[in-house]
Amino acid sequence: MARELKVLNALDAAKTQWYHFTAIVIAGMGFFTDAYDLFSISLVTKLLGRIYYFDPSSRTPGSLPPNVSAAVNGVAFCGTLAGQLFFGWLGDKMGRKKVYGMTLMIMVICCIASGLSFGSRPTGVMATLCFFRFWLGFGIGGDYPLSATIMSEYANKRTRGAFIAAVFAMQGFGNLTGGIIAIIISAAFKARFDAPVYKDDPAGSTVPQADYAWRIVLMFGAIPALLTYYWRMKMPETARYTALVAKNAKQAASDMTQVLNVEIVEEPEQAEELARREQFGLFSRQFAKRHGLHLLGTTVCWFLLDIAFYSQNLFQKDIYTAVNWLPKADSMNALEEMFKISCAQTLVALCGTIPGYWFTVFFIDIIGRFIIQLGGFFFMTAFMLGLAIPYHHWTTPGHHIGFIVMYAFTFFFANFGPNSTTFIVPAEIFPARLRSTCHGISAAAGKAGAIIGSFGFLYAAQSTDPKKTDAGYPPGIGVRNSLFVLAGCNVAGFFFTFLVPESKGKSLEELSGENEDEEAETSAAVEYRAVPAPPA
């Protein structure tokens, strides 16, 4: 029945129109905010340590204790994981549109509240910040399955991959904007409230006004999300949800008639037959037979990718310091350190992150998802080994720029690779009634990897020499050995990619097997009619 519905055929065959670009912007601004909020915290953690954990007797600036640093950096991922599972499930139960506005308002409220974190002691401020960042992550988590599903169900089959990739590519601009805002804020405060470097005046190197700088950076993320709320509420429910899940083909045709500016009228017989169809659930034998390996492939690939991706991204400032690309902390004041960290992250976003996303947009419907993901894992492995094997070479004077170039290439092939495709494919290959749920499960597996990467790398990347570890941290395996571990994750991701089907150029119903349901029911009905009635 899915194949015969005129509204779905019209969506699959539709030319690229203005509503496609509108949907990309509306869904993409959610991901812009997601990336801004999740990565902006890495720009201000050094500043938080100087403000709230200053030790007058120490020769080095204050830093967040290991448990506090892990909580501040990782708590949003815990919320994101929960939000992906909950809102993914809810999107299939209540509809994409109804849930879409909820996630955005949670993000806006918690984004502002994060910047207003309060407390009479440092632990109080950090606890409040972690509380609001958890719920911020919860809202962000809902945006993953809903944005991907909405875009896939609105798109035509010829350019569907590029449209979903364009939504995800807004993360690159979120990262870039986070860096730019932090540069502007830190530069403005530094110019207005100049301070000596830490080794000259430990207490005076962090001016009281610096406490406003990190709050402004975090709260700015609410602005783009708030601007798109009205347009999210104006979007009609996707035709595939209305027709295939809510079983209201007439309403789907009416909604898409307005969107596509083409008259679509569904035949009553088709709509009635659709409403009578029985459908299998997530925990059924039929789902395990048809999509069990697909779900295993999407979850494991996303899990492995995010271990490598987030462990690098969240702690790139520590990697820069390790290769002496950033000055020593005691040779800078607090705002200067924030400024230099922000410059470094902005440069990586501009040169390595954004190009990778848009290479995916331009090539995904030409060479396909499978090749991009396979190639991405391969080249990430190659460049990580290229960083790890001659690591001591990269840390010697004169070779730091080469390290940064290699490091940027790992980000390029993550984004022109599995970081994009693991988001796209789960929104295409599962049935409409389970699409949001399965995407949420896949995305939650990814965030579990991000939690392991972000928490684990804090400890793993510490020097093997106890005298060279950061304050409060036990000895680790070092940056070099950590890069070997991350390369191993990429190798495993390469092989699990073979469980994921190619979805280029196929309709969602063809990929999910919903057309096969129809064919099976049709043949069963023919056989039933062909059997003569028994004699009375």
10 Å Cβ neighbour count for 389?
14
Instruction: Please indicate, yes or no, if residue 4 is contained in any of the structural domains.
Output: no
pLDDT at residue 525, rounded to an integer:
42
pLDDT at residue 82, rounded to an integer:
96
Check: CB of residue 178 under 8 Å from CB of residue 128: no
**AA identity, residue 437:** T
CA-closest candidate to residue 119, choices 132, 106, 110, 108: 132
Q: Which is it for the CA torsion 503, 506, 508, 510, positive or negative?
A: negative
pLDDT at residue 324, rounded to an integer:
64
Instruction: Please indicate, yes or no, if residue 101 is contained in any of the structural domains.
Output: yes
Instruction: Please indicate, yes or no, if residue 524 is contained in any of the structural domains.
Output: no
Instruction: Look up residue 247 and give its two tokens.
Output: 């079983």
CA-closest candidate to residue 160, choices 330, 303, 364: 364
Check: CB of residue 312 under 8 Å from CB of residue 330: no
Instruction: Please indicate, yes or no, if residue 98 is contained in any of the structural domains.
Output: yes
pLDDT at residue 527, rounded to an integer:
46
Instruction: Look up residue 393 and give its two tokens.
Output: 């070479």
Instruction: Please indicate, yes or no, if residue 40 is contained in any of the structural domains.
Output: yes
pTM for this prediction: 0.87
Q: What are 508-511's contacts with CB under 8 Å, separation 24+? A: 508/152, 508/153, 508/157, 508/240, 508/428, 508/432, 508/435, 509/2, 509/3, 509/8, 510/3, 511/428, 511/429
Task: Judge residue 372's burial from the number of C-beta atoms within 10 Å of its C-beta, 0-12 exposed, 13-18 middle, 19 or more buried.
Answer: buried
Check: CB of residue 67 under 8 Å from CB of residue 474: no
**AA identity, residue 276:** R
Domain with 209, as residue range(s), is 15-269+285-512
pLDDT at residue 318, rounded to an integer:
52
**AA identity, residue 167:** V
Residue 168 vs residues 51, 171, 199, 406, 507: alpha-carbon distances, Å: 35, 6, 43, 24, 20
Instruction: Please indicate, yes or no, if residue 2 is contained in any of the structural domains.
Output: no
Instruction: Please indicate, yes or no, if residue 276 is contained in any of the structural domains.
Output: no
Strand, helix or coil at 470? coil
160: domain CATH number? 1.20.1250.20
10 Å Cβ neighbour count for 245?
22
Residue 368 vs residues 84, 147, 509: alpha-carbon distances, Å: 26, 21, 18
Check: CB of residue 439 under 8 Å from CB of residue 426: yes
Per-residue pLDDT of the chain (536 residues; tens, 9 = 90+): 444 677 888 888 888 788 888 888 888 888 888 888 877 888 899 899 999 998 888 888 988 887 888 888 788 889 999 999 999 999 999 988 889 888 989 999 999 999 998 887 989 999 999 999 999 999 999 999 999 999 998 888 889 999 999 999 998 899 899 999 999 999 999 999 989 988 888 888 889 999 999 999 999 989 888 888 888 888 888 888 888 888 888 888 887 887 777 777 665 566 566 556 667 788 888 899 999 999 999 999 999 999 988 777 544 655 666 666 678 888 899 999 999 888 887 887 787 678 889 999 999 999 999 999 999 999 999 998 998 888 878 777 777 777 777 877 888 899 999 999 999 999 999 998 999 999 999 999 999 998 888 777 767 767 777 777 766 677 878 778 888 889 999 999 999 999 999 999 888 888 887 766 555 444 444 443 444 545 54
pLDDT at residue 314, rounded to an integer:
45
pLDDT at residue 168, rounded to an integer:
92
Domain count of the chain? 1
> CA angle, 230 as apex, 228 and 231 as ends, to 5°?
65
10 Å Cβ neighbour count for 239?
27
Q: In this predicted model, what pLDDT tens digit does every residue of 179-204 receive, in sequence order?
A: 999 999 999 999 999 899 888 888 88
Instruction: Please indicate, yes or no, if residue 321 is contained in any of the structural domains.
Output: yes
